[in-house]
Structure 1
Amino acid sequence: MAAPRLTPAVLVLMLAVIALTEGMRGAGPKKCCTRFNEREVNRNRVVGYIKTSQRCTNPAILLKTVTGRSLCVRPSAVWVKELISYLDARPAPGETSNL
């Protein structure tokens, strides 16, 4: 007798769990790269960078240029690694030195 009443409740509970877990995943990444700039970019033209989401199929670095453009580059490229090291070592705007 309890089985006919229990079945709809279990079904509703399963649907609620599925809806909740799908909602927690959120939308996909905001920016992924499909094409890459292969030419080395002058470090004076770059103001910052971000790494793309791990959910993107291609790992990439987005370089932000002084003109406001974003360039996709491969994080494995030697010049990109050197550029990131340079950008990370540079003091942040407004940061003063104690020298």
Structure 2
Amino acid sequence: MPALIAFPAQSLAVADRSQTEAFFASAWEQDDGVDDVTSEVRVVAETGHSVWADVTWRYGDERTERFMYQLVQDGDAWRIAVLTPLTS
């Protein structure tokens, strides 16, 4: 399950699922108190084993985040292979 999280000033080569979990868990504090979240998902490309999705997250406080997710098929599930932040 090799993957890559590519953020400005921080890239993380992921070899174990627990690294991905720890990365996202470290961001929970910034979302403390947010109870209204919507997303806009646009699939920009796909193959039989990969999907690239441009996802914009909108939070109740009007803050937005935009990411490009590359998902890869792993058995019956889709997993994040690469996560890259985009300009909103």
Instruction: State the TM-score, normalized to the length of structure 1.
Output: 0.26
Q: Which has the larger strand fraction?
A: 2
Q: Which has the higher contact order (CA 8 A, sep 6+)?
A: 2
TM (norm. structure 2) is 0.28
Higher CA-based Rg: 1
